[in-house]
Structure 1
């Protein structure tokens, strides 16, 4: 992208935003097409929690299998295109930032990407598999699961995406603490309200109405909230030390000036 010089008008900003959106959408579509050719392998990985338990998945509509593969391709294409999307966002915002702000924003974009993928991976290889095993065994031997591929993939995507977003919470908390917009005392004092909000969010995000799935989702979310509290506390201590050092330096400078004047 060519480097921007001078002041940009509103139309220039809108044109640049349009370019960012077009590139991001095209990257997602191209990678989704590429992902379609690997749908069978991707499905095998996603179905592993079921196949390990000896269960099979069916489809009930003529176009259901094709639609599922298209939907899964776009999901994988979006994940694969995230570096491109974040790079486009970075290129849109970075010209308006100062040199030191550019460095921190670049670090933020990289860590944000890692946290999102980490959340999705943690969800699938940890919470999701345990949840599937528990929920299927919870049905008992009398009930035989008849799982359709469309509902299973929809359940999987709806389960994984929120974890990717929620894993950004410690990073957001770090930034807000650096800006002194949140503090440890406030977050620690409002734990019970945070827990209530997390449970409500988990109930909304989970595609099934059962309490067990809600608890499986809300547990790691609350753990991330506690991690965020710990991060905010560390940031506060660092800021307090910096302020003390600054006050000592100012006091020493004032004393030196007083000695010179005396």
Structure 2
């Protein structure tokens, strides 16, 4: 009696699928491949989260260092909720895991969309994805080392002498994460500017003609997304303007290279 051994073939990565077969794939098959990339991303996030969990309190100490350095010796951070001493470092640990996994997440996005791109688009997309994550990290670093200490010093220095500043740890975490997100996204302006130019929605000449309105728009946006003080508004608006100029400069270089 003959027996036939059948072995299930391993799942094929989307990058290994020929373009002809990729075009014939159904929507469900694309979702299956997307699920593979999502599974890898979630798995890495969980691994990083549990590896960082023993250091959660130490990580929060690093985050709170700019505030503790500004507080008077008689003041300290407080917890207004019973679970705050556990939840604040726990939430921060989760956000740290996401930030550390961001290059891998970007790579998974790139792996999923790469087969559907033309060769010229592939050459541009990957550097833009890498540049976006680098700029996001730079924005967070800029906010932590320069902006956050300046804002905290301003607010604590103007507090009345009869009031002892004591910040809740959950409120401080929310404030920092919002600040980091704002500056992280702000540092994406060169990438956004380049994409608009490359896609053809705008030209460098039209952006140059509207430069004065864009500068005013930078200060207008900064006024609404930063705390209500002039220091933080200026520290966001000026980098927004300079980053726009960088994106414009690179865009002009690419346009001239394309014409040549």
Mark yes or no: TM-score above 0.5. Answer: yes
RMSD value over aligned CA atoms?
Answer: 2.4
Relative to structure 2, which stretch is displaced further, 166-175 or 75-84?
Answer: 166-175
Asked if 1 retains the 8 angstrom alpha-carbon contact of 2:223 and 2:233, the reply is yes
1:16 matched to 2:37? The reply is no
Change (3 A) 1:223 1:144: farther
Asked if 2 retains the 8 angstrom alpha-carbon contact of 1:162 and 1:205, the reply is yes
Deviations 1:49-69 (A, max 9, x none): 122224421111110111111
Aligned to 1:158: 178
Using the TM superposition, give the Cα deviation of residue 168 of structure 1 relative to its aligned residue in structure 2, in angstroms: 1.6
- TM-score of the superposed pair, with normalisation by structure 2: 0.81
- Specify every segment of 5 or more residues in structure 1 that has no aligned partner in the other structure, as ranges: 243-262
- Specify every segment of 5 or more residues in structure 2 that has no aligned partner in the other structure, as ranges: 1-11
Using the TM superposition, give the Cα deviation of residue 221 of structure 1 relative to its aligned residue in structure 2, in angstroms: 1.9
CA distance in 2 between partners of 1:40 and 1:196 (Å): 42
Change (3 A) 1:135 1:185: farther
Give the secondary structure class of the aligned counterpart of 1:37: helix
CA distance in 1 between partners of 2:121 and 2:248 (Å): 25
1:37 matched to 2:54? The reply is yes
Using the TM superposition, give the Cα deviation of residue 200 of structure 1 relative to its aligned residue in structure 2, in angstroms: 4.6
CA distance in 2 between partners of 1:90 and 1:18 (Å): 14
Aligned to 1:63: 83
Using the TM superposition, give the Cα deviation of residue 154 of structure 1 relative to its aligned residue in structure 2, in angstroms: 0.6
Provide the aligned length of Structure 1 versus Structure 2: 240
Aligned to 1:4: 17
Using the TM superposition, give the Cα deviation of residue 11 of structure 1 relative to its aligned residue in structure 2, in angstroms: 1.0
CA distance in 1 between partners of 2:158 and 2:65 (Å): 19
CA distance in 2 between partners of 1:149 and 1:191 (Å): 41
Give the secondary structure class of the aligned counterpart of 1:47: helix
Using the TM superposition, give the Cα deviation of residue 97 of structure 1 relative to its aligned residue in structure 2, in angstroms: 2.0
CA distance in 1 between partners of 2:123 and 2:154 (Å): 45
Change (3 A) 1:101 1:154: same
